[in-house]
Amino acid sequence: MAGNSFGQIFKITTFGESHGKALGAVIDGCPSGIALEAGDFVEAMERRRPGKSSFETPRSEEDRVEILSGVFEDVTTGTPLTLLIGNRDVKSKPYGVLKDLFRPGHADYTYFRKFGHFDYRGGGRSSARETAARVACGVVARKMLAPLGISILGHTLEVGGIRARKMDPSVIHQNPLYCADMEAVKGMLSALDAAGKEGDSLGGVAEVLVRGCPAGLGEPVFDKLDAELAKAVMSVGAVKGVEVGAGFDAARLKGSENNDPITSKGFSSNNSGGILGGISNGDDLVLRAAIKPIPSIMKPQKTIDRKGRDAVLELTGRFDVTAVSRIVPVLEAMVAIVLADHYLRASAIEQDFGA
């Protein structure tokens, strides 16, 4: 199975499965001199962790990140940084029903077709648990970006068709959905409650905003910043669409409405989402991800067994009603990783010309 690495200079490789001994990441190309200790990971890991509210799976991993290499006296050394996260709350029994049946909407069927097997105990590499390693890498990327004045904020824009109408950053971390509109949270929570009672799940939209991004990040033509962000975001399970700036709405605007006027004080609108020609323009980056309803639902579903015979899947065990809020910190991490990588790539070019 290839495809476990991402990035060019700030290059992450994640490893491990949902129900294996541990998972983690190696960051190659992490600059030296970043202050880093195990405590730095606690807050971000806690935000991704399930089981914080009634509509999330009660699997309760501590998600403690252990630094195995690349740090000396609490500072990165520039050598490969290895981060390890143990799997402690491993309960494989509820997954027994999945031994022979493929979960519709999940990766079981395609893993089986490609590899000839699938890890029925929670999905193995396709499990959301893999994203814990990404969040850990994101912590390091953000520590690199923070002194440069680059900050990243994710929030839930929509759940089950109910959309936030306000953007109040002060409330994002005061509700379990990481939504910036408390009125919308009420509607979202009752929609989740109703779907959960029916044994069903809901999708939604998450948005990530980047403030302080300098102009000049992104490498035309195949490594455009928007192309890299789209790949990073689409690589997260359950993400089915990515928009930058006005996104799909741009298709319905006239050029005169969509173009962001350039003034001596900067851009007077931001339909571009802060990227033109694949290069950051110095404005805020704005991107959104469409997230599908999570596949593991309690309703009986038509499927087949490993031999291709028709069957009905009836799940019991620990399953979420939505993944949107848990995906918010994962998207922040992926955006941070892309920006750290492109910042280092841009610096490398500048150094070449400066010499």
Ligand X SMILES: Cc1cc2nc3c(=O)[nH]c(=O)nc-3n(C[C@H](O)[C@H](O)[C@H](O)COP(=O)(O)O)c2cc1C
Question: What is the contact surface with ligand X in residues (CB under 6 A)?
Answer: 57, 106-107, 123, 126, 128, 131, 236-238, 292, 294-296, 319-320, 323, 326-327, 330
Smallest distance from the beta carbon of 325 to ligand X, in angstroms?
9
Q: Which residue has the tokens 């022979």?
A: 100
**Residue 346: both structure tokens together:** 């841009």
Smallest distance from the beta carbon of 96 to ligand X, in angstroms?
16
Smallest distance from the beta carbon of 150 to ligand X, in angstroms?
24
Measured from the CB atom, is 129 or 345 closer to ligand X?
129
Residue 47 and residue 162: Cα distance in Å, rounded? 22
Closest by Cα among 48, 324, 335 to 211: 335
Strands 285-291 and 239-244: antiparallel
Measured from the CB atom, is 106 or 342 closer to ligand X?
106
Residue 42, preceding peptide bond in cis (omega within 30° of 0) = no
Measured from the CB atom, is 109 or 258 closer to ligand X?
109
Q: Which residues are CB-contacts of 326 (< 8 A; sequence separation ≥ 6)?
A: 48, 50, 56, 128, 320
Strands 65-69 and 262-263: unpaired
Q: Which residues of 141-179 are buried (b: 16+ CB within 10 A; e: fewer)?
A: bbbbbeeeebebbbbbbbbbebbbeeeeeebbeebbbbb
Measured from the CB atom, is 87 or 131 closer to ligand X?
131
Smallest distance from the beta carbon of 106 to ligand X, in angstroms?
5
What SS3 state is found at 14?
strand
Measured from the CB atom, is 140 or 327 closer to ligand X?
327
Smallest distance from the beta carbon of 4 to ligand X, in angstroms?
15
Torsion angle in degrees (nearest 10) through CA of 189, 133, 286, 348? 170
Measured from the CB atom, is 145 or 324 closer to ligand X?
324
Smallest distance from the beta carbon of 143 to ligand X, in angstroms?
22
- Dihedral sign for Cα atoms in the order 93, 125, 173, 12: positive
| Strands, sheet with 81-86, edge to edge from the N-terminal-most edge strand | 5-6, 11-16, 22-28, 81-86, 65-69
Smallest distance from the beta carbon of 170 to ligand X, in angstroms?
24
Strands 22-28 and 11-16: antiparallel
Measured from the CB atom, is 49 or 345 closer to ligand X?
49
What does DSSP assign to residue 324? H
Q: Which residue has the tokens 């001199």?
A: 33
Smallest distance from the beta carbon of 50 to ligand X, in angstroms?
7
Measured from the CB atom, is 130 or 283 closer to ligand X?
130
Measured from the CB atom, is 209 or 297 closer to ligand X?
297
Smallest distance from the beta carbon of 13 to ligand X, in angstroms?
18
**Residue 256: both structure tokens together:** 């005169």
User: Is 93 buried (19+), middle (13-18) or exposed (0-12) by CB count in 10 A?
Assistant: exposed
